[in-house]
Structure 1
Amino acid sequence: MSRALVIGAGPAGLMAAETLSAAGVTVTLCEAKPSVGRKFLMAGKSGLNLTKDEPVAALLSQYETVPPALDAALRLFDAAAVQEWTRGLGQEIFTGSTGRVFPTAMKASPLLRAWLARLDGQGVTIRTRLRWRGWDAKGAVFDAPQGRETIAADVTVIATGGASWARLGSDGAWSEVLKAEGVRLAAFAPSNAGLAVPWSAHMAPFFGQAIKSVRWKAGDITSRGEAILSARGLEGGGIYSLSPAIRAGASLAVDLVPDLSHAALTARLPGRSPRLGPWLKSTLRLPPVKTALVFEVGRALATQPERWPGLLKALRLPVAGFLPMDEAISTAGGVQFDALTPDLMLRAMPGVFCAGEMLDWDAPTGGYLITACLATGQHAARGALAYLEAAA
């Protein structure tokens, strides 16, 4: 019987193990941490967003680039497939008003328990506290509690994550191993990440407050979500989706009154004795946190009322970069797709496949991250099965 080794027990690795074992392959799944699915469980703490219920074309449009291998993976395991798979594990789901799909339990732990029970029933051997270090002549080498250990396999699927949330297992250390094997890698970069903004002391009373009912813009990307003002900058769903544009050097602007046009604001300008503070507070009834932002960035325009509408419609914030990458929800970068065959096998290493966030793709939150991890995990496993069949 063929033997498969899966390295990394996040969603991509678990899906690869499920697909391989369902086909009758003997699977050993190795995880560096003491337990599996740690980042998956963390993602479910505030409600596990599994996918977005939308046609595959709309789904694909959310990924920054879609190489053929990623396109094939997502078409085979799209949003509808994610929902069917979840129900197949006995987990009820519901779709929110925005199309986001969640387990009814709103947690990841029941789904993970059901998933692990399925893997156990399919004969998957799960081993934890094994940190992968590369290969020797006999197979994959791990640091184990009892010392160095080598595991031989006919095919290997690597699904070791990106480079954020190292304490949960995604530390990117695997990149040095693959780089030494001649695999082409793109540098890691934060995605769905908080932004560093050097606020003045004037903003301190507003730290921790939400900035709501705004439209954020960076490059060609816009968002109507809210963000939290913090001592370090801005955090939250409203600005996470702007990460690709910010990485590319775009500036950040916020429309503080997205439901009022420039003309409507102009019509509300004071006729005489114009003062910016009273106009913002009494005429426009902006909340204090928005007023504070205006004075933080646009105080120099306080005596130029003709420029106030434009200031509110495109308030430019002085972003100094991202908050630490390890705190980002996800990372871009990793194994480049031109280093892989269409079925996600490393061209430099026949029989070794890659899946999940360690691949160089990027997507916003909203179910797209987990969907692509599941899809590429299945796709890599199918590629491994085809490789085994061809070698038989």
Structure 2
Amino acid sequence: MTIAAKTIHIVGAGPAGLMAAERLAQAGAQVTVHERMPSPGRKLLMAGRGGLNLTHSEDQAAFEGRYGGAAAAVSPWLDAFSPDELTAWAEGLGQATFTGSSGRVFPRAMKASPLLRAWLARLDGLGVQLRTRSRWTGWSADGALRFDTPDGERLERPDAVVLALGGASWPKLGADGAWVEPLAAAGVAVVPLRPSNMGVNIDWSEVVRARVAGQPLKGVALTVGDRTVRGEAVVTTYGLEGGAVYTLSAALREAVAAEGSALLTVDLRPDLSVEALAARLQAGRGKDSMASWLRKAGGLSAPAAALLREVPGEMPTGPDKLARRIKALRLTVTGVQGLARAISTAGGVRLDATGPDLMLTARPGVFVAGEMLDWEAPTGGYLLQASLASGVVAAMGVEAWLAAG
């Protein structure tokens, strides 16, 4: 049996939902996409403002390891839609790509808008119907999908459904987590939503807030527990954010939840040993100011030097003690930024509440994709890759389920 005569509704016009729509429309289904916002792909467009990171070029084992405890569940998604396939898909939309020195893959346009325009044009050509300002509110007593629209409530009874409503980060862009209540009422197990890839709170002095906030810490190494990440961070009025912080955000979030705070150790000169750094500092600063001396002898930027003073007590003057502080600056994380400021979301529909095809066990014919599911990953291409791949898996699941019926 083909699905050519079947009607399928996708709820959510983000990457996962649009990918599911594309695959199902290519299979011949009559596809309708609902989006509560006035236009689709708003979070994708926001993500592309700093350069749209499509995926990553690292080997499969390392790639899968980025998904932590959800790696076993996400691995089949990547088999269904690999990083190479994502790159080819983007290029098929006319978006040439390149791989940066970090291994990250970007469109040459470095923006999401050209890709989204081309994608929407493709979907339109496939006959996909897009309904904006159409907000899903759950199911009616007889199982129909309920939508709030500008024309009032609308009930829909498609042959299958893909829910791709996102998490709850940056809710002003469309994903507000309002889907949790109707799914829980339907007997679907949902892990509480939590921020992921978010900044962390540190009680800086007024000097740091006034003089350093907004400045980067480049080429540092951050350590939480037994895990160390090298990269960049940005000092903010509330604490730290940036790629290296986001990579450790899950560990910091869980430590704060369990203990009330977390220890973050910063190595401001990870390319030098303590001994080599102490040797550079051995001559003393002479007539130089402390900041100037740390820049010249220690190779520290102004914001890095300022953070050394955040440790209680006097600044070490001996080269050995100062080198040790530079190599292991201990900062106390007192909290994390909330969902409204987080890049992505942890928690969501439990992975064991679906089958491998991502169909809800409690609701046959309803499939789930994207950030609604309980997985998380650092920035670097891993978020978009898994979201798109889950859309492919959900579409495959819909096809198989309808064909079997």
Alignment TM class, shorter chain as reference:
over 0.9
Q: CA 1:28–1:285 in 2, change beyond 3 Å: closer, same or farther? A: closer
Given the alignment, which residue of 289, 298, 307 partners 1:293?
Answer: 307
Shift of 1:281: 4.9
Q: CA 1:101–1:285 in 2, change beyond 3 Å: closer, same or farther? A: closer
Q: Is the 8 A contact 1:333 1:361 kept in 2?
A: yes
Given the alignment, which residue of 178, 185, 192 partners 2:190?
Answer: 185
Matches of 2:75 and 2:369, distance apart in 1: 13
* Unmatched 5+ stretches in structure 1: none
In structure 2, the partner of 1:253 is: 265
Given the alignment, which residue of 250, 267, 284 partners 2:279?
Answer: 267
Shift of 1:310: 2.3
In structure 2, the partner of 1:215 is: 221
In structure 1, the partner of 2:117 is: 113
Is 146-155 or 316-325 further displaced after alignment? 316-325
Matches of 1:45 and 1:10, distance apart in 2: 16
Shift of 1:265: 2.8
Matches within 5 A, 1:117-196: 117-136=121-140, 137-196=142-201
In structure 1, the partner of 2:351 is: 337
Matches of 1:269 and 1:68, distance apart in 2: 48
Given the alignment, which residue of 28, 39, 44 partners 2:43?
Answer: 39
In structure 2, the partner of 1:229 is: 235
Write out per-residue CA displacement over residues 331-354 of structure 1, whole angstroms, 9 at most, x where no aligned residue: 111011111111111111111110
Shift of 1:69: 3.9
Matches of 2:108 and 2:278, distance apart in 1: 47
Matches of 2:104 and 2:319, distance apart in 1: 42
Q: CA 1:175–1:138 in 2, change beyond 3 Å: closer, same or farther? A: closer
Given the alignment, which residue of 16, 20, 32 partners 1:12?
Answer: 16
SS in 1 for 2:133: coil
Q: Is the 8 A contact 1:301 1:307 kept in 2?
A: no
Matches of 1:223 and 1:235, distance apart in 2: 14
Q: Is the 8 A contact 1:68 1:342 kept in 2?
A: no
SS in 2 for 1:286: coil
Q: CA 1:68–1:264 in 2, change beyond 3 Å: closer, same or farther? A: closer
In structure 1, the partner of 2:258 is: none
Matches of 1:85 and 1:43, distance apart in 2: 19
Whichever residue aligns with residue 252 of structure 1, its letter is L
Matches of 2:68 and 2:289, distance apart in 1: 40
Matches of 1:83 and 1:268, distance apart in 2: 46
Q: Is the 8 A contact 1:298 1:311 kept in 2?
A: no
Given the alignment, which residue of 70, 73, 96 partners 2:74?
Answer: 70
In structure 2, the partner of 1:244 is: 250
Matches of 1:246 and 1:348, distance apart in 2: 33
Write out per-residue CA displacement over residues 75-114 of structure 1, whole angstroms, 9 at most, x where no aligned residue: 1111101011111222211111222111111111111111
Superposed CA RMSD: 2.0
Given the alignment, which residue of 13, 29, 33 partners 1:29?
Answer: 33
Is 224-233 or 265-274 further displaced after alignment? 265-274
Whichever residue aligns with residue 329 of structure 2, its letter is L
Q: Is the 8 A contact 1:216 1:239 kept in 2?
A: yes
Whichever residue aligns with residue 322 of structure 2, its letter is W
SS in 2 for 1:251: strand
Q: Is the 8 A contact 2:168 2:176 kept in 1?
A: yes
Is 366-375 or 214-223 further displaced after alignment? 214-223
- Report whether the alignment pairs 1:315 with 2:329: yes
Shift of 1:277: 3.6
- Aligned pair count reads 391
Q: Is the 8 A contact 2:161 2:366 kept in 1?
A: yes
Matches of 2:373 and 2:154, distance apart in 1: 26
Matches of 1:262 and 1:285, distance apart in 2: 13
Q: Is the 8 A contact 2:201 2:333 kept in 1?
A: yes
SS in 2 for 1:207: coil
Shift of 1:223: 2.5
Shift of 1:134: 0.2
Matches of 1:68 and 1:157, distance apart in 2: 22
Q: CA 1:318–1:111 in 2, change beyond 3 Å: closer, same or farther? A: same
Is 367-376 or 176-185 further displaced after alignment? 176-185
SS in 2 for 1:224: strand
- Report whether the alignment pairs 1:83 with 2:95: no
Q: Is the 8 A contact 2:67 2:74 kept in 1?
A: no
Shift of 1:308: 2.6
Q: Is the 8 A contact 2:308 2:315 kept in 1?
A: no
Given the alignment, which residue of 209, 212, 233 partners 1:206?
Answer: 212
Matches of 1:256 and 1:90, distance apart in 2: 42
Matches of 2:110 and 2:348, distance apart in 1: 30
Is 226-235 or 263-272 further displaced after alignment? 263-272
SS in 2 for 1:231: coil
Matches of 2:284 and 2:97, distance apart in 1: 58
Whichever residue aligns with residue 172 of structure 2, its letter is R
- Report whether the alignment pairs 1:57 with 2:61: yes
Q: CA 1:114–1:282 in 2, change beyond 3 Å: closer, same or farther? A: closer
Q: CA 1:273–1:390 in 2, change beyond 3 Å: closer, same or farther? A: closer
